[in-house]
Amino acid sequence: MKSTGIVRKVDELGRIVLPIELRRTLGIEIKDALEIAVNGQQIILSKYEPACIFCGSASDVKTFKEKKVCAKCAAELGQ
């Protein structure tokens, strides 16, 4: 993991600000969804992009029983 040297304080509502330079570098736009994960004492933010749980494809993805499945894998499961 690479440190950016950027430090931000959490406000009264639990928010932090991601600097615009960081958002531009990572391609994070206004209203983009971010996924929050925890690894030990680390909080990991990732740009959320729904993908198929089987092949990882992000195209033509549908939700089935709260899981993301692409049309191709859904067709294979139906066989």
pLDDT tens for each residue of 54-74: 999 988 998 888 888 999 999
Give residues with Cβ within 8 angstroms of 57, minimum separation 6. 51, 70, 72, 73
The pLDDT mean for the chain works out to 91
Average pLDDT over residues 22-46: 92
- Within this chain, do residues 2 and 25 fall inside the same structural domain, yes or no? yes
- pLDDT given for residue 1 in this prediction: 75
- pLDDT given for residue 78 in this prediction: 82
- Within this chain, do residues 54 and 43 fall inside the same structural domain, yes or no? no
- Within this chain, do residues 11 and 1 fall inside the same structural domain, yes or no? yes
- Give the total number of structural domains in the chain: 2
By residue range, what is the domain housing residue 14? 1-48
Beta strand spans in the chain (E) = 34-39, 42-47, 61-64, 67-70
- Within this chain, do residues 36 and 69 fall inside the same structural domain, yes or no? no
**Domain harbouring 27, CATH code:** 2.10.260.10
pLDDT tens for each residue of 44-54: 998 888 889 99
